[in-house]
């Protein structure tokens, strides 16, 4: 007996080369088919746009308007936010207002001795807190001033240092502000508000170098001023306020105590930390139970930014309604398109197109319409602020995020509002579609 017949040769089990080649070919064919199908779908969508350009343009018009509205609304919101923060900055966002709130040493009769701030506290803070750029004490008093013709009014007199102008961002309208030499020589000069100058001398310019009396002492007006932004009476400055050198004002009060000390911080980001350091320095120089407060506008700025952002979001949501209206227009047009192409859908299904491919075709058409309209609208929306920034002196803030949001939203609207027409096309019966007239 032939041993080769009784004992067949053994070898490792493996897939025949022919079968492996067939599987590899099938995988390649399926991959090529998928690629061909998707490219064909894109080509069909483009051909559909070419044959109905007017309909495509009118359908995309809603998305153009909606996307442009989103960009413009976001730009307006950012511009408004920047304007609000700039106006608040003019009040003095770098400023720290240090004041005495009460407390001090108590004797046996429980009488509390006031522990007021002094000019030495200001000098100590300047030496120990490097973040401080400018500072000024504030002495406050009231006096009755004659305006002529028997008219006598109560006016507010503030004793400040020359750096008070920088700390409070004051605007000198005419003349000049008193300087370090005036402070050192105790010169009897004053800087007054415009209402005071007009009531006493008829005009702001006419008040320069004129004299008036405070408690019987003549003062020469060397300038008029105003605050850089209207604070609606929420500051220490009234409509009729007189500023005089601190070195002169302290002789009227007869004490070195000051009501407040203003500090201007070099960097806005260091205001809160500098305020804590200022409090620590001052507290170390006074009684342990004395209470001092350091007021800043950081919280006001933060709140203003939050409010501005909230308003911008609300406006964006309102403008998103325009995008939704554009999406409804896309859905209506796509439904009409599906109805007008029923025979085409039947022919494609008869030739082997699946429901998934039909659905993808019409969904891609909706997304193309929405995305192209959104891109064009976003570009038009950016054109206005960019042009204003290039050809005018307005520094309009421009952010790329509204552009990204407009494109993403446009694509999402195309998918959402294109799903219904695409599903309707995919669910059509091929036999009934071919019979449709």
pLDDT in tens, 395-418: 777 777 777 878 888 888 888 888
**Which residues touch 355 (CB under 8 Å, ≥6 apart)?**
349, 426, 427
pLDDT given for residue 38 in this prediction: 58
Query: What size, in residues, is the chain?
Result: 437
Q: Is 7 exposed, middle or buried (0-12, 13-18, 19+ CB in 10 A)?
A: exposed
pLDDT given for residue 176 in this prediction: 93
Rounded to whole angstroms, the Cα distance separating 211 from 44 reads 89
pLDDT given for residue 37 in this prediction: 54
Of 342, 363, 369, residue with least CA distance to 54: 369
The single-letter DSSP state of residue 185 is T
pLDDT given for residue 421 in this prediction: 87
Rounded to whole angstroms, the Cα distance separating 190 from 157 reads 10
pLDDT given for residue 129 in this prediction: 93
CB 416 within 8 A of CB 327: yes
- Which helix (H) or strand (E) segment is 330 a member of? helix 298-340
**Which residues touch 13 (CB under 8 Å, ≥6 apart)?**
none
Measuring CA to CA, how many Å separate 311 from each of 60, 214, 315, 404? 28, 49, 6, 20
Token pair belonging to 17: 């080369």
**Which residues touch 230 (CB under 8 Å, ≥6 apart)?**
none
Measuring CA to CA, how many Å separate 215 from each of 143, 155, 157? 7, 12, 11
pLDDT given for residue 2 in this prediction: 46
End-to-end Cα, the chain, rounded Å: 78
**Which residues touch 40 (CB under 8 Å, ≥6 apart)?**
none
pLDDT given for residue 1 in this prediction: 42
Q: Is 69 exposed, middle or buried (0-12, 13-18, 19+ CB in 10 A)?
A: buried
pLDDT given for residue 23 in this prediction: 62
pLDDT given for residue 190 in this prediction: 95
Degrees, nearest 5: CA angle 134-138-139: 155
Rounded to whole angstroms, the Cα distance separating 241 from 164 reads 14
pLDDT given for residue 221 in this prediction: 94
Domains of the chain: which residue ranges? 45-84+303-435, 95-296
Rounded to whole angstroms, the Cα distance separating 434 from 302 reads 66
Which residues, given as ranges, of the chain have pLDDT below 70? 1-42, 44-45, 48-49, 89-93, 103-113, 229-234, 435-437
- Which helix (H) or strand (E) segment is 99 a member of? strand 95-102
Of 91, 189, 210, 208, residue with least CA distance to 147: 210
> Checking phi first, is residue 103 left (phi over 0); if not, alpha (psi -120 to 50) or beta?
left
Rounded to whole angstroms, the Cα distance separating 79 from 292 reads 38
Does the model's pTM come out above 0.85? no
């Amino acid at each position: 007996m032939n041993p080769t017949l009784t004992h067949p040769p053994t070898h490792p089990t493996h897939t025949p080369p022919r079968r492996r080649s067939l599987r590899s070919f099938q995988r390649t064919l399926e991959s090529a088919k998928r690629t061909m199908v998707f490219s064909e779908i894109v080509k069909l969508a483009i051909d559909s746009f070419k044959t109905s350009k007017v309909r495509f343009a009118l359908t995309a018009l809603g998305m153009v308007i909606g996307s442009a509205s989103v960009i413009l609304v976001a730009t307006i919101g950012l511009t408004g936010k920047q304007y609000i923060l700039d106006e608040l900055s003019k009040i003095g966002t770098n400023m720290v207002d240090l004041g005495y709130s009460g407390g001090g040493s108590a004797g046996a009769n429980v009488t509390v001795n006031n522990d007021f701030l002094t000019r030495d506290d200001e000098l100590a803070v300047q030496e120990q807190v490097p973040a401080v750029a400018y500072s000024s004490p504030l002495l406050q008093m009231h006096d009755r001033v004659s305006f002529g013709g028997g008219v006598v009014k109560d006016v507010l007199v503030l004793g400040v240092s020359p750096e008070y102008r920088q700390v409070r961002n004051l605007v000198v309208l005419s003349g000049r502000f008193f300087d370090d030499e005036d402070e050192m020589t105790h010169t009897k000069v004053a800087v007054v508000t415009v209402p005071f100058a007009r009531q006493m001398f008829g005009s702001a310019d006419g008040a320069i170098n004129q004299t008036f009396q405070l408690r019987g002492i003549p003062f020469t007006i060397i300038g008029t001023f105003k605050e850089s932004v209207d604070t609606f009476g929420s500051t220490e400055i009234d409509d009729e306020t007189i500023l005089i050198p601190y070195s002169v004002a302290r002789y009227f009060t007869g004490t070195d105590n000051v009501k407040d000390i203003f500090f201007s911080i070099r960097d806005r980001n260091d205001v809160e930390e500098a305020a804590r350091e200022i409090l620590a320095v001052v507290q170390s120089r006074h009684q342990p139970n004395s209470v001092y407060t350091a007021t800043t506008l950081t919280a006001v700025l933060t709140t203003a930014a939050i409010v501005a952002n909230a308003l911008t979001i609300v406006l964006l949501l309102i403008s998103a309604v325009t995008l939704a209206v554009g999406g409804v227009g896309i859905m209506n047009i796509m439904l009409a398109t599906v109805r007008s192409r029923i025979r085409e859908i039947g022919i494609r299904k008869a030739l082997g197109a699946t429901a998934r491919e039909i659905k993808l075709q019409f969904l891609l058409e909706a997304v193309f319409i929405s995305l192209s309209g959104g891109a064009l609208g976003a570009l038009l929306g950016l054109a206005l602020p960019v042009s204003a920034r290039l050809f005018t002196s307005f520094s309009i803030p421009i952010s790329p995020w509204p552009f990204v949001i407009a494109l993403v939203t446009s694509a999402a609207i195309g998918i959402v509002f294109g799903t219904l027409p695409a599903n309707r096309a995919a669910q059509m019966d091929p036999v009934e579609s071919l019979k449709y007239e």
